[in-house]
Each structure stands twice: as structure tokens, then as C-alpha cells.
């Protein structure tokens, strides 16, 4: 697919969950548009591999559920790359597939902690700098599950619905600044996160997409590249669907 080159020259982008999957695909697209990339991830091995695949990217071992880890990484990024103007929150986990009545309590808490609390904590750390500079572009990655709910995925669905609500709230808070805060709600994409769920569950999710195929990572990256550009100067607190026709509202 031919890609337009969005102008992100001299921008510094933090991409959480950036070592693989959607996060890495987005980071590669932003780098191709001229941004300086800081990949944040917990998987050190994947980070090293990502740096080999994306020369020039800086890697940081970060736990998005640990505020001290986040603020330490932010300090190092701004010292080496400059002020952060772009944030993409892609770190997330699927969690196991269980009916709510059987959902393991520890796994529920873990999914909420990574997907929702992690998104909150990273935003909390990076937003003040953007406010001071009166510029920023933020994309929090949710899921179509956050709008529709997936059976046997109550923790994931609830966490992503929370990300949508957080984004709408933050977009309103920052509307007086040149800071755009938006979220995307992708349908299922063929990324490593699918390894966390059963094949039957993957087939079920695929069956709900009218286009009849998985979302491609470069399709996500294309939308995010525009959302984090200076051209996106008005829209904020919005939800952008990448559902292949699944979304009904």
C-alpha cells in the first residue's frame, strides 16, 4: 500500500509497547515521517530486536504500571532526544478468555493495571510538558471491544472502554491548548497479542468484521501518523474506528 509522507520532522515521539506489534508498526511509520523515536517496552529482548529493525530509534525498558519507571524514562528521553511532542499509548495485554463469573481475579487486575492505569500514568507524566510548551499530539489505543464488548473478555473490554472515556475527558481538559488527544478503536489485527487468546476466540472476532480479514498494522500506522501530525489541529477527544465495518456507532 502506498503511503503518504506525513511531516513529523523535529518531533520527538514516545511509543509505549513499541517493541512489537501495533506499537512497532506505528513507530516505524512515524520514523519514516521524520520523527525521533523512543520505544518504551518491558521486553528487553524485543526492544533490542526492534532497534536492529529500526536504526536510529532509542529504546527504554519501561513498566507503564510503575510511575517512577515512567518519569525516569521521560527524563532520559528529553535529555537525549528533546521535549516529547508525540505520545502513542500502545502498551496493552489481552488477558485470558473466561466468562466473567470465572474470570481470575489476579488476571482482571493485571489487565486493568496495564491497559487502563498504564495509559493514565503515562499521560499523567507527559501531559504537563506538553501544556508548558502549548503543543502535543496524543493517541491512546483502545479497541472496538471497548465500544461493543467481547464476550469472555470482560477485563479487556472494560479496560479499553476506560481508555475511550479517559481520552474524551483529557481531550476536553486540554482543548484550550494546541494539544490533540484522540483514540483509535481497531478491530483484531494479526499481532503477537493474539497468542494470549484461543484460536476459537480469534475466529469469532474475525467473523464479526464485514471486510472478512484482519486489520493490517500499516493501516493503523497510517491513521495514527495523521492524528499525531500538526495537521490534526482541531479534532480532539474523538474516537476513530478501524473496524472494517464492524462498528455500528
SS3 205: helix
Sign of CA dihedral 27, 29, 31, 36: negative
Question: Known catalytic residue: 103?
Answer: no
Choosing from 103, 135, 156, 249, the catalytic residue is: 156
| Distance in angstroms (rounded) separating the CA atoms of residues 80 and 64 | 20
Rounded Cα distance, 93 and 114, in Å = 7
- CA–CA–CA angle 129, 159, 248 (5° rounding): 105
Query: What is the DSSP code (8-state) at residue 153?
Result: B
Q: How far apart are CA 102 and CA 95, in angstroms?
A: 13
Instruction: List, as one string, the DSSP characters of 84-107.
Output: --EEEE--------B-GGG--HHH
Q: Which of 7, 20, 6, 3 is nearest to 57 (CA)?
A: 20
The terminus-to-terminus CA distance of the chain in angstroms comes to 28
CA angle, 158 then 108 then 113, to 5°? 80
Burial of 249 (0-12, 13-18, 19+ CB in 10 A): exposed
Locate 1 and state its grid cell. Answer: 500500500
Q: Give catalytic residue positions.
A: 156
Amino acid at each position: 500500500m502506498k503511503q503518504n509522507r506525513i511531516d513529523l520532522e523535529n518531533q520527538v515521539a514516545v511509543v509505549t509497547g513499541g517493541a512489537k506489534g501495533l506499537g512497532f508498526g506505528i513507530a516505524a511509520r512515524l520514523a519514516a515521517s521524520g520523527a525521533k523515536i523512543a520505544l518504551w517496552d518491558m521486553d528487553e529482548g524485543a526492544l533490542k530486536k526492534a532497534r536492529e529493525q529500526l536504526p536510529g530509534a532509542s529504546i527504554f525498558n519501561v513498566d507503564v504500571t510503575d510511575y517512577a519507571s515512567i518519569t525516569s524514562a521521560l527524563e532520559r528521553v528529553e535529555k537525549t532526544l528533546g521535549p516529547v511532542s508525540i505520545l502513542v499509548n500502545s502498551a496493552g495485554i489481552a488477558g485470558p478468555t473466561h466468562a466473567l463469573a470465572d474470570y481470575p481475579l489476579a488476571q482482571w487486575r493485571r489487565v486493568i493495571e496495564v491497559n487502563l492505569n498504564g495509559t493514565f500514568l503515562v499521560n499523567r507524566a507527559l501531559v504537563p510538558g506538553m501544556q508548558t510548551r502549548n503543543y502535543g499530539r496524543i493517541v491512546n489505543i483502545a479497541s472496538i471491544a471497548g465500544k461493543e464488548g467481547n464476550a469472555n473478555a470482560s477485563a479487556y473490554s472494560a479496560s479499553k472502554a476506560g481508555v475511550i472515556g479517559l481520552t474524551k475527558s483529557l481531550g476536553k481538559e486540554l482543548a484550550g491548548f494546541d494539544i490533540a488527544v484522540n483514540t483509535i478503536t481497531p478491530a483484531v489485527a494479526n499481532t503477537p497479542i493474539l497468542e494470549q487468546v484461543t484460536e476459537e476466540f480469534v475466529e469469532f472476532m474475525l467473523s464479526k468484521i464485514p471486510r472478512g480479514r484482519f486489520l493490517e498494522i500499516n493501516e493503523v500506522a497510517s491513521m495514527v501518523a495523521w492524528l499525531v501530525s500538526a495537521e490534526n489541529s482541531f479534532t480532539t477527544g474523538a474516537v476513530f474506528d478501524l473496524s472494517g465495518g464492524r462498528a455500528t456507532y
